[in-house]
A and B are shown apart, each in its own frame.
Chain A
Amino acid sequence: MKSIRTLKTAVRALRRNVLRAALTTLGIVIGIAAVIAMMEIGNGSSEAIQRTITSMGANVLLVMPGTASTSGVSFGAGSIMTLTPADAEAIVRDCPAVGAVAPVVRARTQVVYGNRNWVPMSIYGTTPAFLRVRDWEEMADGDPFSERDVRNCSKVCLIGETLVRELFDGKSPVGKEIRIQNVAFKVVGVLRAKGANMMGMDQDDIILAPWTTIKYRVSGSALGNVNQSSASAQNNAPGTVSTAVNTLSQIYPNSEQDLYPVPSITQQADTPQPIRFANIDQILSTARSSAEIPAAMRQMGLLLRERHRIRPDEADDFIIRDMTEMTNALSSATGLMTKLLLAVAMISLVVGGVGIMNIMLVSVTERTREIGLRMAVGAEPGDILRQFLTEAIVLCLLGGAMGILLGRGCSFLVRLLLHWPTASSVGALIAAVVVSATVGMVFGYYPAWKASRLDPIEALRYE
């Protein structure tokens, strides 16, 4: 009740001199508008920078098989075959912090088209998710292959710009057939040029194909398969797996592969883990956002330990790596931007606040007689303090509201006319309201306190 009355009195007092009130708030209006506009433009830029860095692969998490070691001799990362495509599927299913997941099978061999040949830096067998992981979904030409191609072991591939140049002389390769180790692959799409990566390696020197195709039709020469065949040889007749599969697919090109042969009862009893016939070389995945990288790594680690039945006292049989360098660059860029914005915001708000204080002080002097009168009719010092403080806060809140409108207008114009990226931020709006009220309180307090300390006799006599 009392506060409502104080508010009314304050509004009435402000209405008595609209021009002065408007001039007083101008500082805050401009301050808040600057904050909002800077925040929105800055947020937009910051998001654009983040997107750029993210497209370089900052959120990519790499899962590699662990290291094999015999009598203290370690063979380095990737020397045991522990990852399966089922792991990749399980990660998609069970890790909420992980966005896209792509299993990868690598090969390195010669590619032939007509009378030209080339050995690409990387031949990756993977799934369409790979393009999502690497932010590569936009094709320069043609279309990506599908999940169905992966299931069907289809002989299709996507090639990078470098291969187009080397094998096709820059002409469109879509629909043509290239041979990888004597297996004919139809080129269905050309990847957008990505250039060199941070290490200077050509990222366009690449062939992407369904991992099943690479695994079962091509990668006899890939390093990884040596181990797998020896592992399978223990349980089956030597060479059965690969030959059987290959033979089968040649007879029925479109039949689906049975990737996981059902083990016999004896096998199940003998081996604590299912035999991984279809091991893969690595799993590429992305965290949903850079903030979720640690969570994604933790979730994947737990899931893989569970799936691989690793006891708590045993070491991981896989390695998860993140792009620490890029993540750091990302967070430092974002942090820098935020600090810059904060500094600008603080300065403009302090300037606005000092403006409020100045005019409130002038106002107290100008209204000395009024204060004296109010005291004479029984206003206690606290009433006067409250009234002037309320006036300052009302001014600041009004200024804040106008500033928000003005700031949003500015950022809208910037987006419209200059085509700068902007992003609205609810945080900035809330902060603006809180800050303007705080500025009103802090900078309105001194003049209000001064008013409340006036001697009513002096104040009434003041000319």
Chain B
Amino acid sequence: MKYMTRRESQRHQRSAPVLQASLALLVSLSFVPRTSAETGEQVSALRALEKRIKGVVAGCKPAFVFIKGAQEGGGYSSGSGFCISPDGYVLTNDHVIVGARSIEAYMTGGRYFKTAVVGRDPGGDVALLKLEGDGKFPFLKLGDSQAVRPGQRVLALGDPFLTGSENVFVRGAPANFEPAVSMGIVSAVHRYSETYNDAIQVDLAVNRGNSGGPLITLDGKVVGINGKIETRFALGINTGVGYAVPSNQILRFMKHLEVAEGGTVLHGKIEGLEVGERADEKAGLPVIGVRQGSPAAASGFKAGDLLERLGGLPVRTRSRYKGILGTYPAGDTVVAEVLREGEKLTLKAVLVAGGKAHLGLIPRAIESDVAGVGVGSVVRSSPAQRAGIKEGDIVTMFDGQPITSTTELKSVMNQRRPGDTIVLKLSRAGEDLELKVTLGGK
């Protein structure tokens, strides 16, 4: 951005005589080249930057994926994604594919791939997909989002307004399946906005259809997934405020996404820890309560502690506290640095999945001699469906405990946590079977 300051310093030195002259004169005058050491330097700086941008774009573009989710009841949800491995794993936003009964993927140039959902993180708006097909896919590498600094130049690849996957100019002419690249800078880091716990804020153009696309540094590394914008009046067009899910958060969830078998991964919290709204001048977030016997108490937290850092990052507000925790999956250990009576302590907290355990079957009275709870329907992509429970099954046992009513089923479910694995005994068409189900979270 140096050239901006140089321009500023010369603001009054150049006038525009051409603009006051007559047109005929103008035409001839306008060919006088306006070169000076100053402008020459500025142009060569821009040319060097242009060369770098073109190189990054050319290198990253082949790994870009256009994603279309065929929705129940017709219509498509469309967005962007990118390959992250030579065998065809693709990252996108969860909201691009949520509710889709099937997913179509097209790589740059338009080659079609059958696509399956590997894992979903609705709490972080990330989904991992897998393109089916042989051969080596071009792919992008995830970089270190912690190294991203405000002011850093970044690029976004995407399919805004479907300009690459539909021909918006002439209806009925084919699209060219070229992703669009926009350039801008990182405006801020560590922003908290709903499911965007620790977002990178950018000023580059991101619009509908950009969702799921990569945010790329000038080193060609992906540091985030663009997925959200601030907008007003329901216009839904770029305002210069966009948010990306940071790559370090995605990397922490990756091992869970890879084994989710199409299901969802869980976020966690420090169970039993109550913190204040924001820090005072002491520059630490006050711990205002620790539930007895809770995991927080077991980690060694005490009411009156000042929480200074979490996961190595300073904490000043409750939203930042939630934001940092939101970047870790349930089960991970987060290091907390607290100040207690002038002494600095390092505590380790294991994150516990929040919310209620989710099975995903809707009971219905079924006429049968077998005592149990009839399955009226199974929620799509739910733990029950992935475990193989089918409509018409009768649940007879839950972890060895007989189930005879919906109330009993609810009661045992209330004692389980998201992420727990349970064993269900079922009666299907007169035959008994046993299924293991890993409960989800809601």
A binds B: no
